[in-house]
Every structure is written in structure tokens, then in C-alpha cells.
Structure 1
Amino acid sequence: MKHILLIATGGTIACRESGRGLAPSLTGEELLEFLPEIRKICRVFVDNPFSVDSTDITTSQRRELAMMIWENYDRYDGFVIAHGTDSLAYTAALLYHMLRNFNKPVIITGAQRPMGEPGSDAERNMLDSFRVACVGWTGVAAVLHGQVIRGNHVVKVHSKAMNAFRSINAPLAGTIRDDGKVLLNIPPRLGGEPEFVDIVDSSFVVLKLVPDLDPSIIEFLRRYDKVILEGYGAGGIPIRLEKVVQKLILSGTKVYITTQCLEGEVDLHKYAVGRRAEAMGAVSLGHRTVEDAIASIQCGEI
């Protein structure tokens, strides 16, 4: 029977009413009390590094999770992280890049309703996560609502719906049937030796382009080493902003272009506005999600 480490971090899945709204309360051990059938799946060990709403999770805490997994690589067959859903995609993407070529499962899950609440998705998501961790999956993935989503393609698309996550610009990596059978759509990753990639760059900012954006806002961004501009459609920079963006690039700030569209990719060769952006030195992020782009920047990959 496989040995899996459950890392509990709080989030809705662990919430109870506090009198001031829902707040994380349950420990990992208490979450497992709702899952008696887990004994048939694997042997679970627990660590509780912190318990917070995922809105409050910092890059430092995400690094702590990655380091905890890396340092326990030889002790466990896999890892399951119970996490809040609101910033789950950012954690999934960062762990995906920090744990490069990781050849054991790192599964991140959460819930839209607290564990034990009527109609909660918490029990199913947790059990499914342990199931996926025990069937040969390798690397970082999110398991939610019967879906397996590779860590660098996870995006939360709905604030309340039970099926709140989608795999953006990639097919689902797998599914879990109602009877618990895991169906993986892709083979295990084949890569080099597992490597811990530390965070090397936190000087970045993301700016969403909107009609009539004040150009002076972009001038303010010179203090950052890297800027991600969320453009429209296939990507580009509005002509009224071109001069100030060019000055930003010439000042030494690297500018990346992504799209506000949920799916698809940036193509700076399609339209003249995109070619002008590329000519001034803006870099296309292609099909990357914003979460994935941020993680790539933090790990020094782009």
C-alpha cells in the first residue's frame, strides 16, 4: 500500500463558520475523519504547515510547500495538498515549475463547500486526489470535480459552481469515474532527473489593458523588471500606448503580451498591431495562462 503525505493548508475545504464568515479551522487529521474509506486506497501521513484562506497565501508559503515536498521525496510515494480554490491555480503553476521533472505525484485539491457540509464536493475531491496519487501519475496536477488538470494549465473560471476549474489550452490529463476508477489520458512524463528550481525573480507586475487606460500608469511600471500586459484577442498594444510602452522597454523592463481570452493564444504576427508590438521588443506568451507565465518568471524560465 502506497504512503501518501497529506499537506493541509486551510481553504474552504477546511472551513467552519466563525461568526465573521467562513474561516479555515479543520486540520488534516480532522479532514481525514470524514474519509473512512481512505484506508482502502493508501496509508496517509499528515502535515499542517499553515491554515489560511488561499487568498492570503504568499509566494513564501508556496515555496515552503515546494520545499516540504522536495525534502520528503524519499519518504513518500506521493503528495496531496488540501488547498483553498481561489488561488489554487497559482500554487499549482508555481509547484509545477519549482518541482521540475518530478516523477512522483503532487496532487492539489480543494472544495467549493466545506468538508461535511450537505452537498459538499470536498469528500469526493479528496478521495479522487488520493486515487490519482496511487495510479502512476507523475508531476503536479489539480484534481477537482472528477478532472485531472496538469499544473500549468489550471484556471478557476467560476466563483461558486462546483465545476469551477478548467484545463486551459490543453486536454484534460485524466478523469475519475463515479465508481472511483481513474482514467489517465496521457502517459507519465518522461524527463530528466527531478530538480528543485528555486524562486529567482519576484520583480514583476500584471496589467490588464482596458479602453482609454491612462498612459501614465505604464510609466509607473518602470520600477519592475518584468511586466505582463493582458491584451485583447491575439495580442497587441493600442496605438495610443505604444510610445510609453516602448519607453518602458528601452528603460530595461521586459514586456510580455498575453491575452484576456480564456482560451487560445497570442499571435503577434497576425495583425499589424501585433507586429508593431513585437518590433518594439514585446514578447508573446503564446498559449500560457497568466498563472503559468507568472510562475515561469518567478523561476527564471522566461
Structure 2
Amino acid sequence: MERSLLIVYTGGTIGMKENPETRALAPFNFEQIEQEVPELRRFGYNIVTESLAPLVDSSDVDVDFWLRLAGIIEARYNEFDGFVVLHGTDTMAYTASALSFMLCNLSKPVVLTGSQLPIGAIRTDGKENLLGALEIAAAQADNQAIVPEVAIFFNHVLLRGNRATKFGAARFDAFKSYNYPPLAEAGIAIRYHTQAIRPRGIGDLQVLKRFDAHVASLRLFPGIAQEAVEAVVGIPTLRGLVLETFGSGNAPSLPWLYDLLRHATSCGVIVVNTTQCAADSVTMAAYDAGLGLLQAGAISGADMTFEAVITKLMLALGEYPATNDATSYFLRNIAGEKS
């Protein structure tokens, strides 16, 4: 049975081609993608392309972008067996995280990929990333998708979207998943780690579309000034604060810091404690420095990536106006984003 796949080009390096006369990079026409990547014909898939208009540099990604992208997947969900989203690398992990929470009951692959070099460059990683993403998006067993979740395929490795983070800007292995194993690895064949892949959703696709972007992040450091914290915590419209702490979720023993956080949580601000150590988890009861944050009303970000924490918090606040309900949603494991 012929697989049917939708490629959504949103922008980014992978879709760029060098003008031979001016040497400037410009997007090529994705309706003619088989001319740029003739290997696609060998798959035998029915491949349809759709490009955002206008294209979006990944540094300009925002909530409206996520809504547009999720809207395309929702509108065309029943037409295709899988989806490949071509995206700039800088904020790809944010988009993958957001989609993982927005797309409820997902039973088809949504694979994000991109490249560090334009697809027409001599040493481009774009072709391998695109071909691998398409093969994974089409992969089925017993007429069901093998990877029915939002994922990032980059440099021969498939990562859960809300577990990935970009850690390199000048290397082909630009993404890592510090706290969760790969979903698949592409060598001579693609080896799927089925025990790491989420089961397919049951029921119709549902798309959550309400975000509240009145959130901020505050990275703690030795010697942080009280007025700096006050400036962030005192934002009049603040509803959520991601506190980037030390080690297993520790903060300086500064009475004014705990007072400010206690006041914020008493006013309905959700304060999430997430560690600056990307390969570890928050355990606030381990040390007095973390226990103080717990007593101030902070909740744990566990071992989630920063990208997952931010997008999940915005969605929680948008979907659930009441602080208690938003907190309850945030603490749940929604799409395999935490251990």
C-alpha cells in the first residue's frame, strides 16, 4: 500500500539554495523538491508539499506559528500517514515540545528535521535528514505507525521531540536528549527502540490551541541582585515563572529571594523549579536549599528540558485559567516529557 506523506516547509537552512550568480541563499520551490532530491522517487511514496507563506526564520517562532502549524496537521490529518516538518534548528526543540502537548491522541508520526547546511551544499546534511525523516514518518507495522509521536530526526538519530534540546550550532549532531534514550537510530537500516516509543493515541486527534505567554524565566547565579529578581517577579501580568536553579534544584539561602517567591505563588503565579544541569532532575527535598523553594510554593520541573517546561507551562496556563487546574495539568506526564 502506497504511503502518503505531507512535508511542511516552515523555513530554515534546509530549504535554501545558493544562487549561482549572486551566491546568496534563497528558498527553493518545494513543489519541485524531487528535482533537488531525486532519491525521493525511489521511496514510492505519495509526497505532497506545503510551504508556510511567508516563511518563518526559526528565531521568529512564536505561539501564532505553533497554532498555524498545528492547524495544518489538524486540517490534513486524515489525508496522510505521516508528517515531516522542515524547520530551522534554533527553536526546533521548542516547536517539537509545543506540538507534543498540543496534538492529543496522536496516532501518526510528526517528524521535525532541518539541517546545518543548505540542501544544495556539497557536504549538506539536509538530504540525509530529510530522507531519514520521511522513511520514519512512513514506517508501519501491522498497518500502524511505528513512531506515533512528535519527534526530531537529526544526524541519523530520532529523539522524542519534548526530550530534545539544541546544544550545537556548528556541528551535524546539533541535538541531544540527555534524559531519555533515542527512539531510533539510522545506520545501514533504521533500528527502532520500540520500548522507548509511546503507544499510539486512541480516539480522534484533538488539538489544544490556548496558550498564555505571560511567563518568564529567571536563571539564578552566585551574587544575583535583589532588584534583578524583583524586576522579573514583579511583572504585573506574570502568571508563570521558570526558575533555573543549581544542581538538584537548589537556590541561594537569601531570605529576600524566598520572600519574593512566596509572595508570587500566593498571588497565583506558578513557579517551576528546573535545574541548570541538563542531564539531571530536580529533587527539592534533597537539600535545605531546595526545600526552601518547595516551602515557598515552587513546583518541580523534574527532568524536563527547558523547552518542554516553557511550552507546557504556557499551554497549561492557557487551557486552565485557574492556577490549581493549571498546576495539576503541568504536574502530569502528558506526552512522555518527564520520567
Q: TM-score range by the shorter chain?
A: over 0.9
Match of 2:106 in 1: 102
Secondary structure (helix, strand or coil) at the match of 1:239 reads coil
1:168 and 2:184 matched: no
Aligned pair 1:214/2:225, yes or no?
Answer: yes
Secondary structure at the counterpart of residue 36 of structure 2: coil
Q: 2: CA distance between counterparts of 1:236 and 1:254?
A: 17
Distance 2:222 2:210 in 1: 34
Does 2:294 correspond to 1:281? no
> Bigger CA drift: 260-269 or 25-34?
25-34
**Aligned residue type for 1:280:** A
Q: Which residues of structure 1 form unaligned runs of 5+? A: none
Alignment CA distance shift 1:246-1:155 (3 Å)? same
The 8 Å contact of residues 54 and 84 in structure 1, kept in 2 or not, is answered as: yes
**Counterpart contact for 2:280–2:303, Cα < 8 Å:** yes
Aligned to 1:26: 28
In structure 2, distance between residues paired with 1:144 and 1:81 = 12
Cα distance change on mapping 1:282 and 1:21 into 2, 3 Å: farther
- Counterpart of 2:267 in structure 1 is 251
**RMSD, matched Cα:** 2.0
What SS is found at the alignment partner of 1:4?
Answer: strand
The more displaced of 149-158 and 199-208 is 199-208
What residue is the counterpart of 1:81 in the other structure?
A: 85
How far is the alpha carbon of 1:35 from its aligned partner?
1.5
Distance in 1 (CA, whole Å) between partners of 2:287 and 2:115 is 41
**Contact 2:109-2:149 within 8 A present in 1 as well:** yes
Asked whether the 8 Å contact 2:133–2:153 carries over to 1, the reply is yes
Alignment check: 8 A CA contact 2:106 2:200 kept: no
Contact 2:13 2:117 in 1 (8 A): yes
Match of 1:230 in 2: 244
Three-state SS of the structure 1 residue aligned to 2:122 is: coil
How many Å separate the matches in 2 of 1:20 and 1:246? Answer: 58
CA distance in 2, matches of 1:141, 1:245: 35
- For the pair 1:68 / 2:72, whether they are aligned, the reply is yes
Secondary structure, in 3 states, of the residue corresponding to 1:249?
A: helix
Distance 2:66 2:310 in 1: 13
Give the count of matched residue pairs: 300
5+ residue gaps, structure 2, are 140-144, 317-328, 331-339
| Deviation of 1:32 (Å) | 3.9
CA offset digits 1:166-204 (Å, max 9, x no partner)? 123100011111x4x221102551443232112232211
Q: Which amino acid aligns with 1:209?
A: L
How far does residue 27 in structure 1 lie from its aligned partner after superposition? 3.5
Paired residues of 2:6 and 2:83 also in contact (CA < 8 A): yes
Q: 1:23 to 1:213 in 2, by over 3 A?
A: farther
Contact 1:24-1:53 within 8 A present in 2 as well: no
How far residue 89 of structure 1 moved from its aligned partner, in angstroms, is 0.3
Partner in structure 1 of residue 215 of structure 2: 204
CA–CA separation in structure 2 for the residues paired with 1:55 and 1:76: 29
Q: What displacement does 1:216 show?
A: 2.0
The runs of at least 4 consecutive aligned structure 1 residues that moved more than 6 Å come to 18-22
Shift of 1:258: 0.3
Structure 1 residues 22-78: Cα deviation after superposition (integer angstroms, max 9, x where no partner): 765223234442211212221110111132321112210111101110111111111
Match of 2:158 in 1: 148
> Which residue type is aligned with residue 213 of structure 1?
I
Q: Provide the residue aligned with 1:266 in structure 2.
A: 282
TM-superposed deviation, 1:139: 1.4
Give the secondary structure class of the aligned counterpart of 1:236: coil
Q: Hey, what's the Cα distance between the residues in 2 that align with 1:218 and 1:21?
A: 47
Task: Say which is worse superposed, 113-122 or 12-21, in terms of deviation.
Answer: 12-21
**Superposed displacement of residue 21, structure 1:** 9.9
